[in-house]
Structure 1
Amino acid sequence: MTAPAAASYEDLVAGVLAGRFGPDPRTRHIAMAFTTRQSVRHPGRGSGYRNEVLSLRIGAAVGSCAVEPGELPAGVVDDCVGADVAALLGHPLPPVRVAALDTYLMAVLPHGPGSGARPLPLQAGGSLEKSRARARAVVGLLDTPPGSTVLLVGVVNSLLEALRERGLACVPCDLKGGTTEWGEPVRTDAPAELERCDAILASGMTLGNGSFEPLREHALRHGKPLVVFAQTGSAVLPRLIGAGVTAVSAEPYPFFWLDGGAGTLHRYGGAL
């Protein structure tokens, strides 16, 4: 079965508001809103990181958007509860808009063969084991020969490892800057690095911080692979395959880092 697609993020939002993807979003109300915060430092690693995610729920569907820790104002979850999706798609905060769109699409196009997804089991294990297993699955969606240069937008050390294992050079980029676990400088201006890279591997978090569309437009214009690893917007990004996005590793809430149990990645596009 072929699920609906869109030409851009804004086209997707317009399509949802027009009813092209399912029921009128004005009739779908958020039953629950919550945030998830975590701090992690994997055994054997010299540095750690923090995550914060806004999640909204309609029935069994949960949609999410990651934010920088401390970015969300107090009371935002109360603003979301009871609101209809259409209203939240016009919310002044981009993470709220992305989470609302993700929740709606999770409800009407849940991950599965009917939406174009191929499930990949993620085995139970420790935090670093699961991080590395996810990274290998994500990098496996890149149809890029050894020796190519990949722009990694949203630095994850396990992804850097997996890229090296494939013989791929990497330009790490993240708005936070800094250095990688191995002392490599992290660039902060992804568009400035695009021309020298053969492929793009990007976090779904780019949806919430406004940096996604330039990546998609560049990939589409130049025919470069764009693979997205999506906890943010896991139901949103598959709808953009064919419009610059070539593959998505979709991972809806609850994410692999929340517990040691087994999970599932939903792969769209890429090599079979």
Structure 2
Amino acid sequence: MDIAALDAAAGALRMEPSHSVTAGGTTHHKGRVRSELVAAEVDRVVLPGGPARVLLVGVTAAMVEVLVERGHSVLASDLDPGIIGSEVHGVRVHSGTETCRLLARADAAVITGMTTTTGTVDDVVAAAEAHDVPLVVFAQTGGHVFPLMLDRCSGAVVAERFPFYMLSGDTTFDIYRLAGERHR
């Protein structure tokens, strides 16, 4: 509840995104669009180095699939005991307790806004800063809060407006970057 209240208050600040994309169609299609947007931001922060080792914190199958398709080597961590130790599109899912250790091996990291509700966001951001790893955030939860943290993320935030991708209707994704970085 505290995160929801904070996010609602942050929404009143009306930050201007670098750009926005609206997607309609099925849940699968909108989830794929979100994953493509996040992967494009990963590509942007790791280029011109090309494919990179990317840590995904908070596993979604579509996100793993798109990152792998783009040639990235994906590490994955999650707190859900139901998927820890399993493989998603050939990527082994590690325990979320290993996230900070895995960050030391990554060129970039993608984190979910749910890190705010699990109480892990501070540790993940600090570990990313310590290892100079840019973060790309995909956020339903914290979609208004994370853009305020761009100076600590050093990558981008892909925030999802309500109605979220798994609900009927169009979904708009706002992409936030540090000041001066517009859509390419």
**Into which bin does the TM-score normalised by the smaller protein fall?**
0.7 to 0.9
Q: What TM-score do you get using the length of structure 2 for normalisation?
A: 0.85
Q: Which has the higher helix share?
A: 2
Q: What TM-score do you get using the length of structure 1 for normalisation?
A: 0.59
Residue 265 of structure 1: CA displacement? 0.6
Q: Distance in 2 between matches of 1:146 and 1:161?
A: 17
Q: 1:132 aligns with which of 20, 27, 32?
A: 32
Corresponding residue of 2:17: 117
Q: Distance in 1 between matches of 2:148 and 2:154?
A: 9
Q: Distance in 2 between matches of 1:166 and 1:190?
A: 22
Structure 1 SS opposite 2:153: coil
- Which is greater in Rg? 1
Say whether 1:186 aligns with 2:93.
yes
Q: Distance in 2 between matches of 1:178 and 1:229?
A: 23
Residue 245 of structure 1: CA displacement? 4.2
Q: How many aligned positions are there?
A: 171
Contact 2:103 2:133 in 1 (8 A): no
Q: Distance in 2 between matches of 1:184 and 1:263?
A: 28
Contact 1:122 1:133 in 2 (8 A): no
Say whether 1:264 aligns with 2:172.
yes
Say whether 1:100 aligns with 2:8.
no
Q: Deviations over 1:40-65 (max 9, x none)?
A: xxxxxxxxxxxxxxxxxxxxxxxxxx
Amino acid at match of 1:126: T
Unaligned 5+ residue runs, structure 1? Answer: 1-95
Residues 104 and 172 of structure 1, relative CA distance in 2, 3 Å threshold? same
Q: 2:139 aligns with which of 224, 230, 250?
A: 230
Corresponding residue of 1:51: none
Q: Distance in 2 between matches of 1:123 and 1:253?
A: 12
Higher RCO (Cα < 8 Å, 6 or more apart): 2
Alignment of 1:4-153 (within 5 A): 96-106=1-11, 108-110=12-14, 115-142=15-42, 143-144=45-46, 145-153=49-57
Say whether 1:165 aligns with 2:73.
no
Aligned-CA RMSD value:
1.7
Q: Distance in 1 between matches of 2:51 and 2:19?
A: 29
